[in-house]
Chains A and B, each alone.
Chain A
Amino acid sequence: MTTTSSPVATRQGVLELAQVSRWYGNVVAVNDVTMTIGPGVTGLLGPNGAGKSTLLHMMAGFLAPSSGTATLDGRQIWHNHEIYRQIGLVPEKEAVYGFLTGWQFVLSSARLHGLPSPADAARRALDLVEMTDASGRRIETYSKGMRQRVKVAAALVHDPQVLLLDEPFNGMDPRQRLHLMDLVRRMGEDGRTILFSSHILEEVERVAHHIEVLVAGRHAASGDYREIRRRMADRPHLFRVRSSDDRRLAAALISDPASSAVTLAEQGVEVQVTDHARFTALLPRIARDLGVRLWQVSPTDEDLESVFSYLISGGAR
């Protein structure tokens, strides 16, 4: 398991998970995860069902770890409502009180926090997410993106040191998405600890300086997003090639070091490529020399799950 070193452990707003597991009956949702999330923006990346929400809920005090500890600045999170003076939470579930207006919702958040000037704080937060104009309307009339933004405003109203966002960009249109990304980035630059979950790599790399990857409940990778991106690009790729003569093509491909394995399958030739650049130059040349016509060349494992599986298999270490 990769663990981030924690030079920030003495600063404010440091979330720490130590050997945290969470299971439901016989199903393990999160398995022995240790990570430290410090100031700045961290992306929690993983495919659907990886345990991201479970992990986030444990960090937000809405789920007790089955084993291990989750702390904020050394203080236990579970069973500690005082922790919410420091934490702002934007849950994934869309549900908010639809019968309240955006203004009433954010104002109620400010009042529940016991802020000295709740109206000023609510105005500021709504302004920050560009929801001032629509704040007089009932939330049930909002689009999904507007609901998301009003939830962010309610979570930011007390100016928290730590902000946890569960799939925050879901349902937003591109302009709203860019705006929220910019907001998240700026808050991270201000020294806040921001953790957001996503199953979309591009989303994470646009905002986060640091990525934690979760796959099947396990902590698969941790580090700078460029580093993780490089590991993902450098992994072996599996290509399926269909041609006019699969057998001759397979024989020619197997003799070249660009691929580590070549299998003749029913649907064509499956090639395990280790040198991507070499293979893409090699394949058309061999086909031309042999007089074989290529009908289809397709990567078979480009989906995110395959990439994550590769990371967790240890190939990236």
Chain B
Amino acid sequence: MNTVVADITYRAMLGRKRIWLLILLPVALVALAALLRLINGHDEQTAVTLMKSFAIGTMLPLLGLIAGTGVIAPEIEDGTIIHLLSKPISRPVIAVTKFVVAASLVAVFAAVSTFAAAYLLTGSESGVATGFTLGALFGGIAYAAVFLLLGVLTRHAVAVGVIYALLWEGVVGGYVPGARKFSIQQWAQSLADQISSSPFFSSEVTLGFAVPAVVLVTVGAVVWTGQRLRSLSLTGDD
């Protein structure tokens, strides 16, 4: 962890237009919850559906994509990363720092809005708000790491990331039974299910599988990112 790298990365993410991308979906989630509360009143089933399909199923991977690729891909694209890489700091340390920034952004924006939305709909009933908040934190960390890796693997990180987030996580992970075990959103739901006692919700992936899977994917992606950064080649204009 390097505080100067973190400082520059936070400024890049929060001090410019990109912050609106991070704010947009969480605001939409809370607004949707408020609307549903007005229409349906206190409704646990609606809350669980909204959390599963929108908070964990849509917002979380997209926030992971925005933060994970955003902390590194634009710098590689425009060459500003040279400022960090031409210093006597090991590349894995830069990778870990970028991951911490991305994960913290996903955690704050996803977890806070998830809790606010679920609390609006259910209060503290059945642990839905707490469960999905911790689930969002848990899954958000893995998403941040995976999308960070994508940001150093390909120059088309955002396009590949959108396809992955929507197709694999959204469609395949959501509806194809066999693939669910290998979907980050299912791991997030597994933790949510463990904490929540709601009768409207049960996860198909056990916590015994989800926790090691998140740890493995997160650590693996960050280590791989560090290795990629060590060998990052910058070509000149000629």
How long is the Cα–Cα vector from A162 to B235 in the complex, in angstroms? Answer: 21
| B11 in complex: contacting residue of A29, A50, A51, A100, CB < 8 Å | A100
B199 in the interface, Cβ–Cβ < 8 Å?
A: no
Q: Let me know if B87 and A63 touch, CB within 8 A.
A: no
How long is the Cα–Cα vector from A114 to B2 in the complex, in angstroms? Answer: 11
User: Closest CB of chain A to B61's CB: distance in Å?
Assistant: 27
Q: Which of B101-109, B129-137, B226-234 contacts A (4 or more CB under 8 A)?
A: B226-234
| Chain B, interface residues (CB within 8 Å), range | 20 to 34
Interface residue ranges of A43-91 to B (CB < 8 Å):
48-54, 56-57, 60-64, 79, 81-85, 87, 89, 91
User: Closest CB of chain A to B136's CB: distance in Å?
Assistant: 29
Q: Let me know if A56 and B12 touch, CB within 8 A.
A: no
Q: Let me know if B89 and A112 touch, CB within 8 A.
A: yes
Q: Let me know if A62 and B7 touch, CB within 8 A.
A: no
Interface residue ranges of B7-26 to A (CB < 8 Å):
7-8, 11-12, 15-16
Chain B residue nearest to A62 (CB atoms) is B234
Chain B residue nearest to A99 (CB atoms) is B15
Q: Let me know if A96 and B88 touch, CB within 8 A.
A: no
Q: Let me know if A109 and B87 touch, CB within 8 A.
A: yes
User: Closest CB of chain A to B214's CB: distance in Å?
Assistant: 30
Q: Let me know if B236 and A112 touch, CB within 8 A.
A: no
- Also in contact, A154 and B85, with CB within 8 A (given A81-B91, A99-B16): no
B80 in the interface, Cβ–Cβ < 8 Å?
A: yes
Interface residue ranges of B51-91 to A (CB < 8 Å):
78-80, 82-91
How long is the Cα–Cα vector from A269 to B191 in the complex, in angstroms? Answer: 86
Residues of A within 8 A of B234 (CB): 57, 62-63, 91
Residues of B within 8 A of A64 (CB): 231, 233
- Also in contact, A95 and B88, with CB within 8 A (given A63-B235, A100-B11, A108-B7): no
User: Closest CB of chain B to A85's CB: distance in Å?
Assistant: 5
| Chain A, interface residues (CB within 8 Å), range | 35 or more
Q: Let me know if B5 and A112 touch, CB within 8 A.
A: yes
Q: Let me know if A63 and B90 touch, CB within 8 A.
A: no
User: Closest CB of chain A to B91's CB: distance in Å?
Assistant: 7
Q: Let me know if B88 and A79 touch, CB within 8 A.
A: no
Q: Let me know if A114 and B88 touch, CB within 8 A.
A: yes
User: Closest CB of chain B to A174's CB: distance in Å?
Assistant: 24
Q: Let me know if B87 and A113 touch, CB within 8 A.
A: yes
User: Closest CB of chain A to B82's CB: distance in Å?
Assistant: 5
Residues of B within 8 A of A99 (CB): 11-12, 15-16
Residues of A within 8 A of B91 (CB): 81
Q: Let me know if A89 and B86 touch, CB within 8 A.
A: yes
Residues of A within 8 A of B85 (CB): 62, 81
B176 in the interface, Cβ–Cβ < 8 Å?
A: no
1/0 per residue A279-315: CB within 8 Å of B?
A: 0000000000000000000000000000000000000
Q: Let me know if B238 and A95 touch, CB within 8 A.
A: no
Chain A residue nearest to B79 (CB atoms) is A93
A32 in the interface, Cβ–Cβ < 8 Å?
A: no
Q: Let me know if B238 and A51 touch, CB within 8 A.
A: yes
| B78 in complex: contacting residue of A82, A84, A95, A114, CB < 8 Å | A95
Interface residue ranges of A206-221 to B (CB < 8 Å):
none
Q: Let me know if A84 and B237 touch, CB within 8 A.
A: no
How long is the Cα–Cα vector from A89 to B236 in the complex, in angstroms? Answer: 13
1/0 per residue A17-31: CB within 8 Å of B?
A: 000000010000100
Q: Which 8 A-B pairs have the closest CB atoms?
A: A53-B236, A93-B79, A112-B87, A95-B78, A62-B234, A49-B238, A111-B4, A89-B86
Q: Which residues of B contact A (CB under 8 A)?
A: 2, 4-5, 7-8, 11-12, 15-16, 78-80, 82-91, 230-238
Q: Which residues of A contact B (CB under 8 A)?
A: 24, 29, 48-54, 56-57, 60-64, 79, 81-85, 87, 89, 91-93, 95-97, 99-100, 105, 108-109, 111-114, 154-155, 166
